[in-house]
Chains A and B, each alone.
Chain A
Amino acid sequence: MLDKPASALRIRERLLESERLMEETGCYDGITELKLRNQDPLKFETLHTKLRAYCVSAREMARRISASPGVREVGEMVVAIYTPEGDAIALSNGIMVHVHTMSRFIKWMIREGYEENPGIRDGDIFANNDAFIGTVQVPDVMDVVPIFHSGKLVGWAGAVCHELEAGGITPGGDVALAQERFTEGLFVCAEKVGVDDELRRDYVIRCERNLRMPIYWVLDEKAKVASCIDMRESVKALIDEIGLDSWMQISKEFIEEGRRAQLARTRQLTVPGIYRGHTFYGHVTAGKPGYQPLGDPDWLYNMPIEMEITTDGKIVMDFEGTQPWGYHSMNCTPAGMDGGMFVTLTQHMNFEGLVNDGAWMATELKLPAGTWTNPDNEMVATATSWALLLPAYGVFQRLLSRSFIARGFVEEAFVGQVNSPMIEMGGTSQYGTPFGMAHFECAAAGSGALAIKDGLDTAYVGWNPESDMGNIEIWEQNMPMLYIGRSIVPNSGGAGKYRGGCSFLSTWLISKTDHLRLVTSEHSSRVFDNGGLCGGYPAPTCQKHRAVRDSNIFELAGKGEPLPHHTGTNPHRSELEIRLEGEQVTVEGPYITAPHKTGDVFTHSYNGGGGYGDVLERDPVKTAWDVENGFLTPEAAEGVFGIVLDEDAEGFPVANLEATKRHRAEMRAARLARAKPVSDWIASERERVRAADFAPEVKKMYASAIRLSPRFTRDFSDFWGVDGKAAFGVE
């Protein structure tokens, strides 16, 4: 076996040298001049396009090997090609968040001396799902293979799939109940899991014996290995064509070009300065079964973000002032935070230039140690990192969008992503076999509004730009639940001149099982975890779960009586309560309860996006269309948007423009009459702040932020003219 790096240096020394050169020159690997690009720009672009084609083709092939509807239907996979040092050169579409997390995984192995032991040889397969090494969460399992040419290490091919079952304390992948690392599921910590292009039998056995539904993980492993081998062979053929020296040079130029393109895009699309925003997340678990009393059960998370755009085009994101890590599953590692940054940049700014790790190199993340963004304890759980990661990067999208609006590129402004609540499940399948699965229809939420139009309805999530909810029939094959409804949720987008995209809600009948565990995650309680922009409102993102146990649905169906297909528009009495008899259940926070069985009914809704602009400027005609098609309720149209609707001869809503004008003038006057000067409001709130007259969780949030962050303490104290430490009893 051959294990020589292409450079005369050992690979670890080469990595250190590459980092030193970047430090010294400011350019990737010391590439201060794009020689090959300048010699032949067309060839340069053509070769990168080839690499990208290798990635896209390998991913599509792999999706057809997978047994997982998450990968096959929804595309929960990404593949990429890396330099020997682990920097991404080219990538496929899909869950691009993992392109840089995989980079961290490769670099981790290099730094840990894997070249000596266990060795890096042609045909080896390495796997990882440890977020402190380089991924986001346990179900994000990645495989990489080294690429050797002429006996030298010339790169890596890597692939990630999001597994639908990870073998944690609760079934599924995003294990909401995990409070420490030890309950998250099956860990593979940068292991050599295969040699000679074949997965080791003992590794496969370990997977088979530690997962509820090993077919997903094991076949995904084979899919990933196949895609890596496919990319590896394509790269080797390319090197045969262009020569090894040329490959080693051009692969680095691709990354440096990507870095320069990112800086140029920032200078072209934005305005330098300081941008600030925040969002919140409510985690409510008091009284729920299964949680160990390791920390406080209920948490309110503040996520303040300060973004600086420097005049050289660098974007610096600072999370100072946010909350500490906790005994829950929502912590995030720096790898995950990197991933969030990378996938956001690829969507919003890297539509020109080469998309690769160069973009990430033109940014900087400041992640305060000890917070959920950078835990100073590697035992913490990260199984549902997305719960905090998505709202946080939704803020980033709004900050970027303000810069696009300032610069005039209004068509790029976008109110930002929302969380995508998930359902995990397991127990006995409809076939009578043990099973476990994550339901991935959440990959099609509503997007935030744009600055020129409404958001996308049921067609966007931040973590997979290739948004897809999957076909009902496929999901039904994989779980003991039948759809009795999949409906748009009216008013689920935030109100505004342009409304946020609407979400949907699914209603299921549990079928052919006497033991179905359902667990949900990544949905905020008691607070909205998103925002609007330029006067738009946040989307209503703290929905409760509604279910009926021991329902009479079969009896109703037998009689041909109407069945509930959604929860309806009355927040005080759902359609389930109106139409079904049985034990009515309403749950706030993660849905963790006793198992369900045949005849129970369960609902789960996803999130819409925030709105843009003053709601009183919304187009009345478009609003009538929204009401007609179930995106808005008539009471919202009139009460929130100020639009008076009549009915035409066939009973369809039509906007009454004159009455709308009058109604809006009244609403505007009422708004002004109700408002008070901000200075008066601050004066009236000051005593409440001084007395810390807040709910216990709010007080705890302030005390935690003040304890961790001098800047938050200073800003808080200066704003209110109150000693923040004294108010919240912080020493």
Chain B
Amino acid sequence: MSSYSKEVIADLVAGTLPWPQTRRIMSAYKDDDRFFKYVAVLQDRVGWQDRILLPVSDHLFICESAEGRVTKCECGHSFGDYRKNWKLAASIVVRDSEEALREIYPNSDLPDPEWMEIREFICPECGTLHEVEAAAPGYPIVHDFEPDLEGFYRDWLGQPLG
């Protein structure tokens, strides 16, 4: 079974691993110890000490904090209880006019803002763009992911969560 060093996983996650090596990883049997090395790499990357339990986006993590299990931005901003939709605690930019859509699509045919708007969900502290929704006006904000954190650690990782 494959296994890679933490440094290799770090380069892979950062997108800096040379392509031939990346391709070999893609083609090989998967490394069963990936998750904990991955979390260790991410833990080194963030500037805070709370234990990362599960990454849920490029710069969002569920972690164990003093206020309980929360969704946290890489900058340290907490979006609150991980079971709630972090987007509801984010900041938003809505592009619902031709002018605002044109800023992102300067050379293309645009959607009709009466039919579709672009919603950008942003960390209110560091301004990182965490997620983009393209939705009809009036469409409820999506709760992207509700992980079965207990089931994952207990049944799949065989490790204690707390």
Which residues of A are at the interface with B, using a C-beta cutoff of 8 A?
267-269, 271-280, 282, 300, 302, 304, 311, 351-352, 402, 405-412, 451-453, 490-492, 495, 497-498, 526-528, 530-532, 534-538, 540, 542-544, 569-571, 612-616, 633, 635-636, 639-640, 668-669, 671-672, 674-679, 681-682, 685, 688-689, 694-695, 697-698, 701-702, 715-716, 719-720
Contacts and interface: CB of A to CB of B under 8 A. Distances in A.
Interface stretch (B43-51, B63-71, B105-113): B105-113
B29 A411 contact: no
28 contacts: A271-B156, A272-B152, A273-B147, A275-B145, A280-B134, A300-B136, A302-B139, A311-B152, A405-B58, A406-B147, A408-B37, A409-B34, A453-B22, A527-B136, A531-B132, A531-B133, A614-B129, A615-B129, A633-B106, A671-B129, A675-B91, A675-B122, A677-B124, A681-B92, A694-B138, A698-B138, A701-B136, A716-B140
A304 B135 CA distance: 11
Contacts of B32: 268
B105 A526 contact: no
Contacts of A498: 15
Interface string B147-159: 1110110011000
A276 B139 contact: no
Contact of A274 (B129, B135, B146): B146
Contact of B147 (A272, A528, A639, A675): A272
7 nearest interchain CB pairs?
Answer: A408-B38, A540-B108, A675-B91, A719-B140, A273-B147, A526-B112, A534-B58
B17 to A, nearest CB: 8
B26 A678 contact: no
A355 B103 CA distance: 45
A323 to B, nearest CB: 12
Interface of B is mostly: mixed
B142 A277 contact: yes
Contacts of B148: 271-274, 311
Given A268-B32, A277-B144, A407-B35, A535 B105 contact: no
Contact of B145 (A274, A304, A569): A274
Nearest to B146: A274
Interface string B114-126: 1110101110101
B116 A544 contact: no
Nearest to A279: B134
B134 A311 contact: no
B30 A268 contact: yes
Contact of A278 (B111, B115, B142, B156): B142
Given A538-B118, A695-B137, 5 more contacts: A269-B30, A278-B142, A571-B109, A672-B124, A689-B138
Contacts of A682: 88, 141
Contact of B115 (A279, A453, A695, A716): A695
A246 B30 CA distance: 32
Contacts of B132: 531-532, 535-538
Given A409-B30, A527-B115, A675-B92, A302 B136 contact: yes
Contacts of A351: 27
A612 B118 CA distance: 15
Nearest to B122: A675
A174 B146 CA distance: 38
B103 A640 contact: yes
Nearest to A702: B138
B30 to A, nearest CB: 6
A492 B126 CA distance: 29
A205 to B, nearest CB: 46
Which of B38, B93, B112 neighbours the largest number of chain A CB atoms within 10 Å of its CB? Answer: B112
Which of B22, B37, B127, B148 neighbours the largest number of chain A CB atoms within 10 Å of its CB? Answer: B127
A512 to B, nearest CB: 31
Nearest to A538: B134
B144 A402 contact: yes
A682 B92 CA distance: 10
A542 B111 contact: yes
Contacts of B127: 668-669, 671-672
B13 interface: yes
Nearest to B19: A453
A670 B137 CA distance: 24
B128 A614 contact: yes
Contacts of A678: 87-92, 121, 141
B57 A405 contact: yes
Contacts of A268: 30, 32
Contact of A452 (B22, B89, B126, B137): B22
A392 to B, nearest CB: 15
